[in-house]
Amino acid sequence: MQQIIECVPNFSEGNDLNIIKQITDQIESVEGVRLLNVDPGKATNRTVVTLVGNPEAVIEAAFLAIKKAGELIDMSKHKGEHPRMGATDVCPLIPIANISMEETAKFAQQLAERVGNELQIPVYLYEDAQPDKSRSNLSVIRAGEYEGFFKKIKEPEWKPDFGPAEFDTKRGGTVIGARDFLVAYNINLNTTSTRRANAIAFDVREAGRNVEENGKKVNKPGTLKSVKAIGWYIEEYGVAQISMNLTNINITPVHIAFDEVCKKADARGVRVTGSELVGLVPLKSLTDAGKYFLKKQKRSVGVAEKELIKIAVKSMGLDELGPFKPEERIIEYLLKSPVDSKLVNMTLSDFADETSSESPAPGGGSISAYIGSLGIALATMVANLSSHKRGWDDRWEEFSNWAEKGEQFKTELVNLVDADTKAFNKIMEAFSLPKSTDDEKTIRTNAIQEATKFAIEIPYKVMQVTYDSMEVIKAMAEIGNPNSVSDAGVGALCARSAVMGAFMNVRINTTDYNDKNFVAEILKSGKEIENKTIALESEILKIVDGKLGN
């Protein structure tokens, strides 16, 4: 699974669009990065830029942007309402998908070190990237701002983490760190009263409210951690809202915030009618919400990703004030390239036509991955049917867990359908490289070998995932809804075919790979997986035959 981080650098220029464009051009020059938003502010004289991508690409794009900002922005002439200390004032990295905060913090430290060493800009780490928690708060670091840092930087306790301990008159200083993803989230109420909305906001926000006890004012915290909230009236919609910032969605995710506001609103005689997400969200925020609401209904969570999103949208009324389009609001979907899912987005007939055409791809590897996905899809279906079977209500969670596991295998195999064709195309691209000079020949040979290794590893991955998925298939043959045991049997047949087909692709591609030790190891391992798969298929079919009884 691809690691994705978000980066939100703030540049001290909000009026000159030409300067802003030159900075964002640097970001867009880096492959593997997508520029999602550019938000200039005239009063603040500051532009907030949002980009996402794989970590290595993001820190490269951020470095180039920081470098360009330092060349174009003169802090000695800067005026603006927002606190600032440098041309690139702050640059946070935020984990989005398949990456921990600890890993993200290390990337922030790498970026900070490079900026300090190569650009000679004083850099301070903040939030999770800063080991010294006495100087991890952004507002504390930035206190004194640009004008005050000429003196502050000379104090021993404010020596930069990277770069010179001399304040740069033109570029100023930069703060680089890692923080949690912040979600701006508004919950709609069936009232026009700002006072009532505020009362609910104070009930839930972490800061709570001040109350009087025994003649003294004391703070009574709200019920939700890592949540800021106020109530306001939106004239455009004619309703009051709870406006929330969820500053750590790992602590308080969107669905928990929604449910808690529903409870507090109900206690005050107010109803929640829906909600709206402001800006972009990680995919996990919505899939987790979908699973949460399904579990409340005691329904299986092992359903397709798009179904989980649909349930989340309907459960929280995210489409009340306007259409909610996942492809425009989910970060991972915005990063998707049409090329990476060309085959799986085809109709069944188009996929068959593409396979039968004179084009050599998709070939046996992609077909094997697809067969494997169908095999585990059948087992997942059996798990879902079993979870909802009348009279088995006390076992819904057991089968839901099996269905969820099956859905994960299915998703991985579906992704491998296009990955195998992409691997083949890489080989074709490598063979098309020029070979006129010795250097070109060397580059071409290395590219062919690298592409060939990739073309071996993808079908081998198909073998591994498919074999692992047979645990679910076997379980459904043994304990699943007996009316669907034949489906589990067909799933086993598909899995066996997928593994054997993928192994053929491994074998044919190893003939052109020069690392014979690697080839020997992967062929040995592949044969072991094939043998175990055939044996497991035989076990499953015996179970199925025994239950069919004819």
Residue 357: which residues within 8 A CB-CB, separation 6 or more? Answer: none
Q: Do 183-334 and 337-548 show the same overall fold?
A: no
Name 234's Cβ contacts closer than 8 Å, sequence gap at least 6: 240, 241
In angstroms, the CA 82 to CA 24 distance is 21
Residue 470: other Cβ atoms inside 10 A:
27
Band of pLDDT at residue 361, cut at 50, 70 and 90: confident
* Beta-ladder partners of 184: 245, 278
Nearest by Cα to 293 from 269, 270, 317, 273: 317
Instruction: Read off the pLDDT of residues 254-271 as tens digits, 9 standing for 90 and up.
Output: 999 999 999 999 999 999
Average pLDDT value for residue range 282-296: 95
Closest by CA to 116, choosing from 169, 175, 156, is: 175
Q: Which residues contact 436 (CB under 8 A, 6 or more apart)?
A: none
What predicted TM-score, i.e. pTM, was given to this entire model? 0.78
Cα–Cα distance measured from residue 8 to residue 37, given in angstroms and rounded to the nearest whole number: 9
CB–CB of 376/410 below 8 Å? yes
Contact between 128 and 84 (Cβ < 8 Å) = no
102 has pLDDT over 70 = yes
Q: Does domain 183-334 have CATH number 3.30.70.670?
A: yes
Q: Which amino acid does the sequence have at 353? A: D
Q: What is the pLDDT of residues 364-380, one digit of tens each?
A: 999 999 999 999 999 99
209 φ, ψ (degrees, to nearest 5):
-145, 160
CB 153 within 8 A of CB 189: no
- List the catalytic residue out of 89, 168, 420, 487: 420
Q: What is the largest CA-CA distance in the chain?
A: 90
| Residue 310: pLDDT over 80 | yes
Q: By the 8 A CB rule, do 460 and 368 touch?
A: no
What pLDDT is attached to residue 148?
94
Q: Is the pLDDT at 328 greater than 90, yes or no?
A: no
List phi, psi (to 5°) of 232. -150, 165
388 is catalytic: no
Beta carbons of 372 and 495 less than 8 angstroms apart = yes
Question: 32: burial class by Cβ within 10 Å (0-12, 13-18, 19+)?
Answer: middle
- pLDDT grade for 1, boundaries at 50, 70 and 90: low
Q: What one-letter code names the amino acid at 279?
A: G
> What pLDDT score does 342 carry?
85
User: Class assignment of domain 4-178?
Assistant: alpha beta
Q: Is residue 194 within a helix (H) or strand (E), and if so which, with residue range?
A: helix 194-204
- Judged by DSSP in three states, 277 sits in strand
Whether 394 is catalytic is no
Distance in angstroms (rounded) separating the CA atoms of residues 273 and 288: 21
Per-residue pLDDT band for 437 (boundaries 50, 70, 90) equals very high
Lowest mean pLDDT across 25-34, 298-307, 424-433, 534-543: 424-433
Please state at what angle helix 254-267 crosses helix 305-316, rounded to 10 degrees: 20
Handedness of CA 396, 401, 403, 404 (dihedral sign): positive
Orientation of helix 17-28 relative to helix 55-72, angle to 10°? 150
pLDDT, averaged across the chain: 93
pLDDT of residue 101: 94
Residue 345: predicted pLDDT = 87
Q: Span 299-308, mean pLDDT? A: 95
User: Tokens for 172?
Assistant: 């100023």
Q: How far apart are CA 293 and CA 295, in angstroms?
A: 5
**CATH level 2 (architecture), domain 337-548:** Up-down Bundle (1.20)
User: Active site residue: 82, 340, 468, 512, which one?
Assistant: 82
Any idea where the domains of the chain sit in the sequence? 4-178, 183-334, 337-548
